[in-house]
Every structure is written in structure tokens, then in C-alpha cells.
Amino acid sequence: MKLFIKYRNLILLFSVLCCGFVFISCDQKEQNTKETSAEPTQEVSQEITAVPDDGKEKEEDNVASTTEDNAYYENYTKTGVLASIKDVYKDKFHIGVALAKHDIENKIKANFVASQFSSITCENEMKADFTLDHAATLKKGDEEFPVVNMKNAVVALNFAKENDIKMRAHTLVWHSQTPRWLFTEGFDKSEDAPFVTREVMLARMENYIKQEMEYVNTNYEGVVYAWDVVNEAIEIGDGHKDGIRIKNNYWYEIIGDDYIEQAFTFARKYADKNQKLFYNDYGTYEKSKLFAICELVNKLKEKGIIDGVGLQDHIQIDYPTTLDYQYAINKYSELGLEIQITELDIACPEDTEEAQEKLATRYRTIFSILLNCLNKGNANITSVTVWGLSDDRSWINKPDQPSYPLLFDKNLKPKRAFFGALLDPSVKKY
Ligand code: 9MR
């Protein structure tokens, strides 16, 4: 205490100088952003992390606010002019949407997508169930060569190419939506057909990845910017020491522990040099899963075969907590790779005004966190994709269990959630 009194003036002077320096740096950074970003990109004020009295670092006050100029909701209600979310975030990250082929074949929806999104993902059409051609594989008669046919994905690929929209390719290696015959001797479809050896399976994996990437990159150069190389390979409950999913996972059953690394190695070999390779998963904020993913990704990073982590973010209004969500983003950021939010939706079982207003606030919170992490240089977030265009098209909206989790309603009218995602001042902060 005595020492403190003795040097009190010195400490005060030092604090004032430090504050001044931080203030000038932030101001400078904001100036730089202003210079490079064209309207209507919103400005975001960065708030300082609060440290509570007990000295433990508290949840960040993730409040990114907009200025009055960015009153998107007010403007929409007065003039009917709807802001474009992709334009609002154009200097930050891609704003994407998952689409089915029939969404794109609908002209009204397609035009709307082109006006609002800068990235698309096939909701199903680039999964192995849709890209592998059994008849053509049998016809070819090569035990190591499952034949890929991208006919289900061309509608999306053409749409992206024609409209200068980028694509996330989802997904190459997954335990789900992959036909069992891919793993059996003679590509046999019978239920009890025996599996091939590890060597044959590795050859099949390479040929499968090679064909798909070469097809996309030859015919649609520059369209795909990110590949979900491996999807959902961590399942803590399965009991593997590294958390690898072992149940109902034929890739693991036949190839073994290194199937993930093998997939990334092949993907790196055939990807275009500008394309980014992602590990993608859900429940990424659950602690043991989070640590297992970080371990896995770190190993892949050391080998130079991964560029990013895809956080699916099928979340709820009150789960995970903001603190856990923020913690997870911080942890993944420490990997020093890109982060993409790949499948965002927020389950909301009610369509009442009150429930939808809460949803809007939740969207606002999530986008605030992402934006603040990006703006502070803590996280290299390059893309945020919502998993579906409108509530009626959401995978969680089922006839017996409705949900209204997305940004637009079935008539493509913007919901309050849309304005929450824009950090509109009319949407309450949490
Ligand atoms: O939205 C997709 C739905 O149409 C499919 O029926 C389902 C089948 O598993 O897959 C859904 O998408 C999933 C995505 O590919 C991976 N993460 C979870 C998504 C929601 O289940």
C-alpha cells in the first residue's frame, strides 16, 4: 500500500498514456475501415472487455452497435426497401445460405437469393448419397473406382457461376448420407455384403475425392471456395480415446484412426490452391468435443492439410450460453485457422411476436459476437451461412414439431431475425 502511495502519481501518468495510446490505435483502425468499406457496410463500435471485481475475466460484453444511419428496419417499414445482408457484411465475411435444387429452380427464390447472399451451400446435393452413381460404378467394373456423377449439383453450380456467387462444397467424407455399397466388395448393395480392405478403401477414397474436385474445378473454376472435407467425425460418447466417431462410421471401421488425415491429404492433393479445406461439426461449443476437435485440427494443421474449422451452429435461443459460445469462438481462433459458421439456425418453436423478437435478439447477439471477434482481430471468420432460406424450408421445421428458426418467412418476407442479424437498432440487445 505504502509503495502504491509512493508511486501513485507515476502509475496515474502511465495509465493516462496507455489509455491515450489505445484510443488512438482504435480510432486509427476505424479510420482505415472507413476508407476501405463502401456503403452500406455498417460501422461497429468495439467495446472493451469488462473485468469484474473478483478479478476473473467475465463474459465479453459483445455489443456491436450500429449507427442511426443503419436503421434498416425503420427504412424498410417506411420505404419498403430491404437492405441486402450480403452487402452489409461485404467487407467482413461471406453471407451464405443452404439451398435445395428446387429452391434454385424457382426463379423468384433464385433472384431473391442472388440479392441477399454471396455464398451458397447445397443442402444435400453434394453429399455422397447424391454424387455416387451405383450403376456407372458397376459398369466401370473397377474395384477401386466408385464413379461420381455431379448431375444433382449442377443446378447450384451453374447458378453460382452465372451470378458470381461463391460455394461451400458440403461434404466429402461423412458417416451419414453415404451409401453402404461404397464400402463393400464388388460395390454390393446387399445388407450383409462384406467390406473391402483398408488398401482398397483408401484407393476408393482417393478416387472419389479426386473425381469430385476435378469435376468442380475443371467446369466451375473459382466457384467453390471451401470444401467440408470431413464432417462430424468427433462423437465423444462413442468412447474412442481421441473422440473419433466409431459407431456406424464405415470410414473409420475400414480405414482406422487415420481416415480423417487420409481424406485431408487427398483433398489437399486435388484442391485448387485458392480453395480452403475445412473440418465441419455441430455442438462445437460442448467442452469435451471442443477440445477433441482442437486436438484433431492441430494435428492436421501441423501437416499443412487443413485451412479452417466449420462450426455448424444449429443452436437454440438459450443454448449454448453466450459465454460458452464466445469461449468456443476464442478457442477455435487460437488454432490460427479460418473459421466459418456453416449451418446457422436457431430453433424457435413458436411464431408469436414475442418468440420471434427473442429470436431476433439471439441473432443479434450471435452476429455481434462474430463481428466483434473479427473486428478485434481475434478470429478470422470468413463466412456465415444460414441453413435454409425460409422457415418452411428448414430441416428442423417438421409437421408434428414446427420451428421458425430462420431469417425469412415462407413468403420470403424478412423476419425480425433478419434485422437482428443486421444488428438493427430496433432489435433489443440481450
Ligand atoms: O438439411 C439436411 C436435411 O435436408 C437432410 O435430410 C439431413 C440428413 O442428414 O441433413 C441435413 O443437413 C445436415 C448437414 O448436412 C450436416 N449437419 C447437420 C444438418 C442438419 O441435419
Contact 200, 143 (CB under 8 A): yes
Q: How far is the CA of 127 from the centre of ligand 1 (A)?
A: 10
Q: Please give the distance, rounded to the nearest whole angstrom, from the Cα atom of residue 395 to the centre of ligand 1.
A: 7
| 364 CA from centroid of ligand 1 (Å) | 24
Q: Is 248 in the pocket of ligand 1 (CB under 6 A)?
A: no
b/e sequence 240-252, b meaning 16+ C-beta within 10 Å? beebbbeeebbbb
Phi-psi region of 134 (alpha: psi -120 to 50; beta: other; left: phi over 0): alpha
* Per-residue buried b or exposed e for 347-385, using 16+ beta carbons within 10 Å of the residue's own CB: bbeeeeeeebbbbbbbbbbbbbbbbbbbbeeebbbbbbb
pLDDT 10s digits, 158-187: 999 999 999 999 999 999 999 999 999 999
Nearest to 217 by CA among 274, 165, 293: 274
Residue 190 gets the label, from left (phi > 0), alpha (psi -120 to 50) or beta, of beta
The answer to whether the CB of 101 is under 6 A from ligand 1 is: no
Amino acid code (one letter) for 338: E
Which residue has the CA at smallest separation from atom 4 of ligand 1? Answer: 395
Of 330, 373, 357, residue with least CA distance to 420: 357
Q: How many Cβ atoms sit within 10 Å of the Cβ of residue 225?
A: 18
User: Is the pLDDT assigned to residue 237 strictly greater than 60?
Assistant: yes
Rounded CA separation 111/77 (Å): 22
User: Across the chain, what does the average pLDDT equal?
Assistant: 88
Give the relative orientation of helices 322-333 and 287-302 as an angle to the nearest 10 degrees. 10
Q: pLDDT class for 430, splitting at 50, 70, 90? A: confident
Q: Which atom number of ligand 1 is nearest to the Cα of residue 176?
A: 9
248 Cα: distance to centroid of ligand 1 (angstroms): 17
| One-letter identity of residue 113 | V
pLDDT for residue 91 is more than 80:
yes
Q: At what angle do helices 198-219 and 259-270 cross, to 10 degrees?
A: 30
Compute how many other C-beta atoms are within 10 angstroms of the C-beta atom of residue 335.
18
- Tens digit of each residue's pLDDT (9 = 90 or more) over 10-38: 444 444 444 333 333 333 333 333 322 32
Write the pLDDT tens digit of every residue in 369-407: 999 999 999 999 999 999 999 999 999 999 999 999 999
Residues in Cβ contact with 104 at an 8 Å cutoff, skipping those fewer than 6 apart: 110, 113, 155, 156, 159
Q: If pLDDT is split at 50, 70 and 90, which confidence band does 7 have? A: low
Ligand 1 within 6 A of CB of 313: no
Kindly list the distances between the CA atom of residue 315 and the CA atoms of 284, 288, 296, 323, in Å, as whole numbers in the listed order. Answer: 10, 17, 23, 14
All cell numbers assigned to 294: 482442437
Place of cell 456407372: 136
What is the rounded average pLDDT of the residues 43-49? 30
Ligand 1 contact via 342 beta carbon (within 6 Å): no
Mutate to test the pocket of ligand 1, among 235, 387, 392, 406 (most ligand atoms within 8 A of CB): 387
Instruction: Give the mean model confidence (pLDDT) for residues 258-287.
Output: 98
Name the percent of the chain lying above pLDDT 70.
84
Distance 191 CA to ligand 1 centre (A): 24
Catalytically active residues are 232, 343
Q: Whose CA is nearest to atom 12 of ligand 1?
A: 123
Candidates 395, 396, 397, 398: which one to mutate for ligand 1, based on the most atoms within 8 Å of Cβ? 395
Q: Which atom of ligand 1 is nearest to the CA of 282?
A: 17
Q: Indicate the pTM of the whole model.
A: 0.86
> Hey, what long-range contacts does 40-44 have (CB within 8 A, 24 or more apart)?
40/70, 40/83, 40/87, 40/88, 41/87, 41/88, 41/89, 41/90, 41/91, 41/92, 42/66, 42/67, 42/70, 42/88, 42/422, 42/423, 43/67, 43/70, 44/371, 44/372, 44/375, 44/423
Cβ of residue 395 lying under 6 Å from some atom of ligand 1:
yes
